[in-house]
Structure 1
Amino acid sequence: FTGTSKQKIFSLPTLLLLSWVISGSQLWHDEVSY
């Protein structure tokens, strides 16, 4: 159970980081397209 708890603890920040990186890359691509 300790492994699953660790995954739950780390999954949220990882998802937030992934979403932030994806949104950031999209903004960067938009700037480059200009």
Structure 2
Amino acid sequence: MFDNPGALLPIWIIGAPLVAATIDLARTPRPYR
């Protein structure tokens, strides 16, 4: 899909913290109400 690995760099810069935050939210029990 991507021939240039450098094109994935901005995706990783934004995606990596986003995935980490999502996992952190999923593993942290917090009341929704």
Compute the TM-score of the two structures, normalised by the length of structure 1: 0.58
Q: Greater relative contact order (Cα 8 A, min sep 6): structure 1 or 2?
A: 2
Structure 1 segments, 4+ long, off by >6 Å, are: none
How many percent identity over aligned positions? 7
More helix by share: 1
Could you list the runs of 5+ residues in structure 1 that have no partner in the other structure? none
Compute the TM-score of the two structures, normalised by the length of structure 2: 0.59
